[in-house]
Structure 1
Amino acid sequence: MIALTGAKLNKVYTVKTMDVPEDTRRHLNDLGLLAGTKVALASYEKGNGIVVLHNTRLALDNAILKQIMVSEEAEVEESWLSLDLLEVGERAKVVSVYGKGAVRRRLMDMGLTRNAELLVRKRAPLGDPIEINVRGYELTLRKNEAELVLVKKEG
């Protein structure tokens, strides 16, 4: 087991223990972070980290990250990242879509649902927008929309 501060970015781990005060534990549980949950560390800089759960992203302080112990899943090597981080030509499968209300609904209506396979076709010179193939058609997304789509790369 390692602390979440020592986790590799975008690699999927399973939460084993959280040695935090009871009120903090309850709050993290309410947000979906509890023992047995699969998580990935999306970014870590200046003592703060973004932790990705299956259905949400949490910004956590270094003091809390140090107290969350995780372990690797031995049977499967998996990593999650947001769609905007994929390079041209990479294939991925949708894990989940973030966002609230109309934004999430719109992305899902465009075919970005769980297990949908996609291919990054093109990227504008400054990185925004991004063109992908999903469900047999081309879809162009702004970078801020692509950030809301959690994917796992395919070989």
Structure 2
Amino acid sequence: MLKLSQGVCHQLYVVQSIEANEKLKKRLQDLGIVPDATIVLIQSNKDSGIVMLKNSRLALDIQVLSLIEVKEQATRKEWLSLDQVAVGQTVKVVGIHGQGAIKRRLMDMGVTKHLTIFVHKVAPLGDPIEINLRGYTLTLRKAEAALILVERDVAV
């Protein structure tokens, strides 16, 4: 079995089991980390990792990540933030992570879950990013694009 601490970033995994004491298992269960849950390792370093679970980002210690056994999900999809998508790629919105006014502003501009977005242009220094959605062109700052979690198919 693969431990989540050994996982590849932006890969979808299915939780198989949690090898922890009852108190920690209960805490993880309260957070939604249970067997058969889909989880994505968004970011990882030697001390901690950030996981995506049901549109929530959770920061977990590397020791906790090493207690979670996972397997790769059968579908070949990759989750990443919109600012990491290359020019010419088409992606699907999975979630928006902004809080309050910024999330409302993105949604008012038409960025919603399950929307297909085409990355049209990126400025030479990476900011801003021009995207096509709902039949029009929208330009976003890199910081705004980083708040939009998208899914793309991975070639096998």
- Confirm or deny a common fold (TM above 0.5): yes
Unmatched runs of 5 consecutive residues or more in structure 1? none
Displacement of 1:91 in angstroms is 0.8
Regions of 4+ moved over 6 Å: none
Provide the C-alpha distance between the structure 1 equivalents of 2:24 and 2:104, rounded to a whole number of angstroms. 31
Provide the C-alpha distance between the structure 2 equivalents of 1:148 and 1:29, rounded to a whole number of angstroms. 26
Counterpart of 2:27 in structure 1 is 27
Provide the C-alpha distance between the structure 1 equivalents of 2:23 and 2:98, rounded to a whole number of angstroms. 27
Contact 2:77 2:153 in 1 (8 A): no
Question: AA paired with 1:116?
Answer: L
Counterpart of 2:95 in structure 1 is 96
TM-score normalised according to structure 1 size: 0.89
Provide the C-alpha distance between the structure 2 equivalents of 1:18 and 1:99, rounded to a whole number of angstroms. 30
- The answer to whether structure 1 residue 50 and structure 2 residue 40 are counterparts is no
Residues 47-126 of structure 1 mapped to structure 2, 5 A cutoff: 47-74=47-74, 76-126=75-125
Counterpart of 2:143 in structure 1 is 144
Provide the C-alpha distance between the structure 1 equivalents of 2:109 and 2:70, rounded to a whole number of angstroms. 35
TM-score normalised according to structure 2 size: 0.89
Say how many residue pairs are matched: 154
Question: AA paired with 1:133?
Answer: N
Displacement of 1:21 in angstroms is 3.4
Q: Aligned residues: percent identity?
A: 47
Counterpart of 2:36 in structure 1 is 36
Q: Which moved more, 1:42-51 or 1:82-91?
A: 42-51
Match of 2:119, SS? strand
Contact 1:80 1:153 in 2 (8 A): yes
- The answer to whether structure 1 residue 2 and structure 2 residue 5 are counterparts is no
Unmatched runs of 5 consecutive residues or more in structure 2? none
Displacement of 1:81 in angstroms is 0.7
